[in-house]
Amino acid sequence: NAGVTQTPKFRILKIGQSMTLQCTQDMNHNYMYWYRQDPGMGLKLIYYSVGAGITDKGEVPNGYNVSRSTTEDFPLRLELAAPSQTSVYFCASTTFQGLAGNTIYFGEGSWLTVV
């Protein structure tokens, strides 16, 4: 069972370049999220999706875009990369079970450096 898979693991971008971080999950989860984590900080929500065709902004969406054409995939696009986007990016997914308990599954992370 692969869980949440995100690629690439490491990437160096030049200022102004664009790229897409890929994320796919094989657990049929309806909720998917993109977080970024800066050194010594917690996870900040960039974008999230509650199902295919539905996306919404999180706390720090500027400079990013997402799409959710299928249940499995939730790519994150960086347009015109800036040094402030140097960070570790985590994709995550879950299916809300209310009182039955929840686990949010995380991908392994993508380390992005913008120079």
Encoded tokens for 90: 């985590």
The Cα–Cα gap between 109 and 38 comes to 12
Q: Which of 60, 106, 111, 115 has its CA nearest to residue 89?
A: 111
C-beta of 79 vs 96, nearer to another protein: 96
Judged by the rule CB under 8 A, the positions of this chain that interact with another protein are: 31, 33, 35, 40-45, 48, 50, 56, 58-59, 90, 94, 96, 99, 101-109
The Cα–Cα gap between 49 and 30 comes to 8
Strand partners, 114: 13
C-beta of 38 vs 79, nearer to another protein: 38
Instruction: Please spell the DSSP secondary structure of 14-27, one letter per residue.
Output: -TT--EEEEEEESS
Q: How far is the CB of 66 from another protein (least distance, A)?
A: 14
Q: How far is the CB of 41 from another protein (least distance, A)?
A: 6
C-beta of 26 vs 56, nearer to another protein: 56
C-beta of 12 vs 111, nearer to another protein: 111
Phi (first) and psi of residue 53, to 5 degrees = 85, 0
Q: How far is the CB of 115 from another protein (least distance, A)?
A: 20
